[in-house]
Structure 1
Amino acid sequence: MNVLNKVIVVTGAGGGIGREIVLNLLAKGASVAAVDINQEALAETLKIAGDKGSKVSIHVVNLTEREAVEALPEQVIAHHGSVDGIINNAGIIQPFVHVNELDYEKIKLVMDINFYGTLYMVKSFIPYLLKRPVGHITNISSMGGFLPVPGQSIYGASKAAVKLLTEALHSELKDTNVKVTVVFPGGVGTNIMKNSGAERSNQPVDEKQRQKILTPKEAAEIIVTGMEKDKFSVLAGKDVYLMDKIYRVNPKKAAELIAKKLKH
């Protein structure tokens, strides 16, 4: 779906990849409904948008509250006149601890934001997207959604749920005007650890590892391009391409490689 003159809803738009997705869409001629739980962060996104800010509406929404999400489509339409696509980018990781050390409150929060927040958005917007000449749903999963990462088991489970939900939606909507894309980012230089309350102790990053990390701007370009090309799935980053290949051939070896890398 060409985003020119389209209205796209972006969650997690207050920073990181989400903010860069907003700016990328604006540069390509789209209008954007920017969604985040943090009003100050949304205001900063609007400020950075500069003279293109007139094409942005900001919506402070807690994605774990279903009724608030269900009210969002009409709010977007009231401002922009229509809605053509959604990019479900918002998400958090868990503290870097094993499942037996993770409390149920944090487990529920990760699942509520990453999976149920995405599900609420999809369920709320599909009826409106089906009425448009063309529509699009892009859901952001993760490399951790197909590759097990010790210390991020619940995060991975939530992103695996997003993966299968999105792939099933692709099949369910294949004979409609609505296209569906799932995205698997690898390492991206964002503040997700800090924003999720999951910071690890400072560890040096070697140059080879650093070169594999995408900037949020690079990730946003890959995501929006994948949306415009109606891709079934998008791999974002050199690391995710490599681990996807290894995992397809030998899942156990891939899991062991990740576990060993994290251990050291």
Structure 2
Amino acid sequence: MKAENKTIIVTGGGSGMGRELVLNLLAKGAKVAAIDINENTLQETAALAGDRNVNLSLFVTDITNRTGVEGLLEKVISKFGAVDGIINNAGIIQPFIKVNDLSYEVIERVMNINFYGTLYLIKTFLPHLLTRPEAHIVDISSMGGFLPVPGQTIYGASKAAVKLLTEGLHSELSGTNVRVTVVFPGGVRTNIMSNSGLADRMSSSTEGAQKILSADKAAAMIIAGMEQNRYRVLVGKDAKMLDLLYRLNPAYAAGLIAKKMGALLS
């Protein structure tokens, strides 16, 4: 689905890759409903949009609140008349520690935002999307959603759930007007990595720094994947390499990542 003249929802639009997705879509002539829990960062996104912010509407929403998400349907349609696509980008990463050291509070928060937030948007807007001439759902999973990363096990589990949800939707919606794409970013320079403490540890090595992709480049790849109606989009050389390696030899790939992450966990 081409972005031009379409109305597209972007969750997590107040910062990082979500912000870049919003700006990229606006530049392509789309109308954008940017959703975030943080009003200040949403306003910063609007300011960065410049003259294009006439096609931007901001919605301060906690996507873990199902009632709040369901209330968005009427608000967004009232503003734009229709919705043609959703990019489920909002997500958080866990602290870079092992499952044994994670509290249930943190575990539930990661699952509620990454999985249930995505599910609530889909369940709320899918009936409407099915009425559109063409529509698209893009869900952001993660490289950690197909490959185990020690220290990010719960985050990976939440993104694996997003992966299977999206792939299942792709099959269920086959033959309809709604296309579905699942995205697997590798290392991307955003605050989601900084919040875990992982970015600083990776940047301490030349190899790690080189593999961290800028958020604007990642956003461009994701939108290109949507416009090409791709089934899956691997963002970054690291994601592509590890996807291939994991499919060829899962045990070896998992062991390789465990060895690399072991030094960061110590």
Give the TM-score category using the shorter length.
over 0.9
Q: What are the superposed Cα offsets for residues 179-230 of structure 1, whole Å, 9 maximum, x if unpaired?
A: 0000000000011134xx4325943433333222210000000000000111
- The 5-angstrom pairing of residues 74-113 of structure 1 reads 74-113=74-113
For residue 10 of structure 1, give the secondary structure of its aligned residue in structure 2. strand
- Residue aligning to 2:217: 218
- The 5-angstrom pairing of residues 80-229 of structure 1 reads 80-194=80-194, 197-200=195-198, 202-203=200-201, 204-229=203-228
Residue 97 of structure 1 deviates from its aligned partner by 1.3
- TM-score, normalisation: structure 2: 0.96
What is the identity, as a one-letter code, of the residue corresponding to 1:233? R
CA distance in 2, matches of 1:261, 1:105: 28
Gaps of 5+ in 1: none
Seq. identity, %: 60
> Structure 1 residues 219 and 200 mapped into 2: Cα distance closer, same or farther (>3 Å)?
closer
Matched residues, number: 262
> Structure 1 residues 128 and 200 mapped into 2: Cα distance closer, same or farther (>3 Å)?
same
- Residue aligning to 2:13: 13
CA distance in 2, matches of 1:205, 1:220: 25
- Residue aligning to 1:259: 258
Q: What are the superposed Cα offsets for residues 37-90 of structure 1, whole Å, 9 maximum, x if unpaired?
A: 000000000000000000000000001100000111211111111100000000
CA contact (8 A) 2:87 2:138 kept: yes
CA distance in 1, matches of 2:178, 2:242: 30
- TM-score, normalisation: structure 1: 0.97
What is the identity, as a one-letter code, of the residue corresponding to 2:165? L
CA distance in 1, matches of 2:170, 2:3: 19
Q: What CA RMSD, in Å, does the superposition of the two structures yield over aligned residues?
A: 1.2
CA distance in 1, matches of 2:27, 2:102: 42
